[in-house]
Structure 1
Amino acid sequence: MCEFPYTVHMTQKRISKEAINELPLYKLENDIELIIAPEQMAKAIEELRKAPVLGFDTETRPSFSKGESYSVSLLQLSTESKNYLFRINQVPFNQELAAILEDENIKKVGVAIHDDIKHLNRIRKFKAKAFIDVADLAKEKGIITLGLRSLAGLLLDKRISKKAKLSNWEQPTLTPAQINYAATDSEVSLKLFQALR
Structure 2
Amino acid sequence: MSTETAPPLPPYQGIRLADVRLVRNADDASAALAALLAADAIGFDTESKPTFLKGETSSGPHLIQLATDDTAYLFQIGAAPALDVLKAILESTTTLKVGFGLSDDVKRLRHKLGIAPAQVLDLSVALRGGQRNDLGAKSAVAKFFGLHLQKSKKISTTNWATPRLSEKQILYAADDAQVALRVYRRWIADGGKVAPARRKTASAHEAAARTAD
TM-score range, shorter chain: 0.7 to 0.9
User: What secondary structure is seen at the aligned counterpart in 1 of 2:156?
Assistant: coil
Residues 1-197 of structure 1 mapped to structure 2, 5 A cutoff: 22-29=8-15, 31-68=19-56, 69-140=58-129, 142=131, 146-163=135-152, 164-197=155-188
**Structure 1 pair 63–56 and aligned structure 2 pair: CA distance change class (3 A):** same
- CA distance in structure 2 between the partners assigned to 1:169 and 1:23 by the alignment: 30
Write the letter of the residue equivalent to 1:140.
G
Give the length in aligned residue pairs: 179
1:36 deviates by 2.8
What CA deviation, in whole Å up to 9, does each residue of 1:54-88 have, x standing for no partner?
00000001100123222211101010111111112
User: What secondary structure is seen at the aligned counterpart in 1 of 2:59?
Assistant: coil
Identity %: 32
Point out which structure has higher relative CO (alpha carbons under 8 A, 6+ apart).
Answer: 1
Residue pair 2:9, 2:146 contacting (<8 A) in 1 also: yes
1:171 deviates by 1.8
Residue pair 2:41, 2:95 contacting (<8 A) in 1 also: yes
**Structure 1 pair 173–196 and aligned structure 2 pair: CA distance change class (3 A):** same
Write the letter of the residue equivalent to 1:58.
T
- CA distance in structure 2 between the partners assigned to 1:74 and 1:186 by the alignment: 12
Q: Which runs of 5+ in 1 are unaligned?
A: 1-17
State the 4+ residue runs in structure 1 displaced beyond 6 angstroms. Answer: none
- CA distance in structure 2 between the partners assigned to 1:172 and 1:97 by the alignment: 18
CA RMSD of aligned residues (A): 2.2
Q: Which runs of 5+ in 2 are unaligned?
A: 189-213
User: What secondary structure is seen at the aligned counterpart in 2 of 1:161?
Assistant: coil
1:160 deviates by 2.1
Write the letter of the residue equivalent to 2:178.
E
Residue pair 1:72, 1:89 contacting (<8 A) in 2 also: no
What CA deviation, in whole Å up to 9, does each residue of 1:69-115 have, x standing for no partner?
22211101010111111112254141222121111110000011011
User: What secondary structure is seen at the aligned counterpart in 2 of 1:76?
Assistant: strand
Write the letter of the residue equivalent to 1:179.
I
Residue pair 2:15, 2:171 contacting (<8 A) in 1 also: no
* TM-score, normalization by structure 1: 0.82
Q: What is residue 208 of structure 2 aligned with on the other side? A: none
Write the letter of the residue equivalent to 2:77.
I
Write the letter of the residue equivalent to 2:10.
P
User: What secondary structure is seen at the aligned counterpart in 2 of 1:72?
Assistant: coil
- CA distance in structure 2 between the partners assigned to 1:94 and 1:172 by the alignment: 17
